[in-house]
Every structure is written in structure tokens, then in C-alpha cells.
Amino acid sequence: MGELIVDVGGRPGLDCRGFCAYCYFKHVRNPAPLGCRHCLPFKKGCDYCTRMVREQYDGFRPFRDVAQETLAKLQVATREIDRVTISGGGDPSCYPAFEDLVEVLAAIEAPLHIGYTSGKGFDDARVADRLVEHGLSEISFTVFASDPGLRRRYMHDPTPDVSLAVIERLAGAIDLYAAVVVLPGINDGEVLEQTASWLEDAGARGLILMRFANEPHQGLVLGNAPLLPGIEPQSVGSFAALVRDLSARHRMRITGTPLLDPALGSPFAIRDEPELLARLPRLTGRASVVTGAVAAPFLASLLERLGGTASVVAVRKEIACLITADDLHELDPAALERVVVLPGRALVHDREAEAILSSDGVPRTVVRGPDMLTADGETSMGMNREGVLEMELTGLFHLVNTINLHGEPGDGDRRTGSGQERRAGRS
């Protein structure tokens, strides 16, 4: 069984009928590549960290190209296709040949999934019925608010009533996961409450709340902060409280990203599973594990329980996958072990990281940890607790093995522990 990805291309903002006010890609010009684990050792910048992280396409791909590529993929597929997903840098609902494409994909007779849409390209609510007829089974749909005026103003949706009608029809017929980027003072409070109730009544499977980011340390790494001057994003703690509170008052599944999934106990649900933790190898190597501010306390506590020979060092950046060289510059190298583990997806070139982290004259080796240690609310929405626990078990297994393989022999210097995780310039 396999998934067939159908990439329609497109540019965020430009192929979505204009930028949403909160779009992560707004104001991105042409920043220098950040570097990543995929870069060649002698060259900072590769296709992934130059083009893919910016969703940089030339525009929507011609329908003929997309159809031919899909056919070619089908011809070489070795497994039965059990899911077809339409994705792209732009918004699929704005793809000029969207309905033709859906009609062609229906012939595959596998459940169709739209990975993400804002719905701004839908100008006729009857499209919902046609999509269902053609096998659409799951869709992630940005709603922002059930108030059409707010959708028009903040998403620049020219036909917000139609988009909301499409959401309502799809939510009653298929698995619809709605998403809301929470802008404090605009679509939180009573507006959010009404939006959640409206979605629940319509039959939505879930609601993913996304904390708005407006500053580099919150995740705007493409030189485009602030997106909305004057809007103060919520702290991670108050956002998590909002998610917990809203979830407690609704039957529909509600998660938040970066924190939390109240139904599954993630991120790091494994902290409440001592039997699973007991299955992991013990830590024997000494290393510093650099991570983001959100994951740090969870990870420090887990590594302590696994043997405590590795220290967790939090940077100011809240999301580990978005750590860049700037974050490493803020660390005090003298507080680090000789071996430093960086998150697999951190956007920094390994050679550059080693130079920054050795700037006190002590040579340090940088190794990469796993890409994912847990599931954020966006990822966990389509999962159950077993799936999340398996992901966490696998991630921690690889992390512990990486530390034990590359770290210096442990000598009882127990520097990890809850409350002991150190932060740049504050240790």
C-alpha cells in the first residue's frame, strides 16, 4: 500500500489569490540559504534549504505536466496506491485545472486527500458535491474564522461565504480537519469559540489551532519578521492553556501546534509510559543535545530518566526544526560537551555549526539527531496515541544510540535533569 503525491506547484501568496495577513511566507525576498543536513560538506546551500523550505516554485505546474508525472508514477509504483494526496506550494483550490485534475485522479479509485487548502479559490459551493463524488475523503482546510468578514479581511478571500459553505458541506460528508492561525485580539476569544462550535455542528473531525508567529525566535527564519507589526503573539504557555480549555468544552478533537494534543498527551506522551521507556537503551555517552525552547524541558527530563549522561541545551528558538546558525551563536560554547547533537532538521550547515560551537578554541564535533522526536498538534491530529508513542519511541531510540555512538564515555558527570537544562547566556 502506498501514497501517491500529486504536486501542483504554485507559490505561497502569489498562487493563493494574495497573501493571508499571517502567512509565514509573506515578505520573503531571496534570503541566503540557511544550510542543512542535506548540503554537501563543502557547500552551504542545497535544493532543500534553498528552494524547498521556501516552497519556491515558478508558479503552478501545467496540468499536462502534472497528469503525465502522475501517470509515470503510477506505472512504476510497486505497491498498490491506497491514498492520493494533492499538494503544492500554492493553494490547490486556486489551481486553474483543479476540477479536471480531481476528475482524472478519481480514475485511480483510491481515496483522495487534499493536504492543505484555504478554499480561497472556490467560487461555487457546489464544488463540494463534485469533490465528494470524485472520491475526496479527507481535506485540511484553513477556516481562520466562521465570520465571513474576518475571512475576507485577514485571508483576502474574495468569496468567504462560498468557502464557508464548502467547509460546511465537506465537514458533513468526509473527514475535514480545520485549521485556525490564532491572531490574538482578532480571531481568539468569542470568535474562536463560535468558530469551534460552528465546525463541530457541521461535523468537522478536528480543529488544529496554530500559534501565530511574528518574531524570528518564534519561527520566522526567512528574514521576514514581523508579519503583522504590533500584534503580540501568545506565549507558548498561554497558547497551550487556550488549546486545553477549548478542547475541554468541545467533543471534536482539538489540538494545538506547537503545543499540545490534550486527547493524546503529546508532545512527548511517552513521559507517562515508564514501561516503554524501560525498553530503550541506557545512555552511556556524554554529549550536549541542542534543542528548541519548547522541547527542552520534556527532553531533559526524559534523558535524565534514561541515564543522565547527556545534557540538554535549549536555544531561544522555540521550534527545534527551525534552529539556525544565529541560535548557535547565542550559546556559550564553554558550557558544551565535545560532542554536540543537533536536531536532524535544524537549518544550519554542519561545518558552520562546528565552527560556531568551537569558537572558544575547543574543537567540537557536531552530529545529527533524528528528524522527529515527537508529534506536534498538526501531525498528531491524524494519529492515535499508539502511533504517537511509536514515533517517540523510535525517535528516542535513535537519539540515545547517536549519543552513545558518538559521545565521549560517560563518567558519572550527571549534568542533565529537569530544571537543569541550560539556555544560552543564562546558565
* Binding residues vs ligand SF4 (CB under 6 A): 12-13, 16, 19-20, 23, 25, 91, 118
**Cβ count near 224 (within 10 Å):** 16
User: 212 vs 239, which CB is nearer to ligand SF4?
Assistant: 212
User: 148 vs 297, which CB is nearer to ligand SF4?
Assistant: 148
Q: Please list, in sequence order, all residues whose beta carbon lies within 8 angstroms of the beta carbon of residue 246, skipping any fewer than 6 positions away.
A: 192, 193, 196, 207, 209, 254
User: 19 vs 48, which CB is nearer to ligand SF4?
Assistant: 19
Q: For 158-173, b where at least 16 C-beta lie within 10 A, e where not — what string? A: ebbebbbbbbbbbbee
| Alpha-carbon gap, residue 289 to 406, rounded angstroms | 12
Shortest Cβ distance from residue 347 to ligand SF4 (Å)? Answer: 19
User: 212 vs 268, which CB is nearer to ligand SF4?
Assistant: 212
User: 20 vs 347, which CB is nearer to ligand SF4?
Assistant: 20
Shortest Cβ distance from residue 19 to ligand SF4 (Å)? Answer: 4
Shortest Cβ distance from residue 156 to ligand SF4 (Å)? Answer: 8
Shortest Cβ distance from residue 96 to ligand SF4 (Å)? Answer: 16
User: 24 vs 268, which CB is nearer to ligand SF4?
Assistant: 24
Shortest Cβ distance from residue 253 to ligand SF4 (Å)? Answer: 22
Shortest Cβ distance from residue 181 to ligand SF4 (Å)? Answer: 8
Set of cell numbers at residue 229: 507589526
User: 95 vs 268, which CB is nearer to ligand SF4?
Assistant: 95
Set of cell numbers at residue 417: 535533569
User: 50 vs 140, which CB is nearer to ligand SF4?
Assistant: 140
Shortest Cβ distance from residue 72 to ligand SF4 (Å)? Answer: 27
State residue 313 phi and psi, 5-degree precision: -120, 120
- Cβ 163 vs Cβ 151: under 8 Å: yes
Shortest Cβ distance from residue 376 to ligand SF4 (Å)? Answer: 17
Shortest Cβ distance from residue 12 to ligand SF4 (Å)? Answer: 4
User: 13 vs 308, which CB is nearer to ligand SF4?
Assistant: 13
User: 13 vs 160, which CB is nearer to ligand SF4?
Assistant: 13
Shortest Cβ distance from residue 168 to ligand SF4 (Å)? Answer: 19
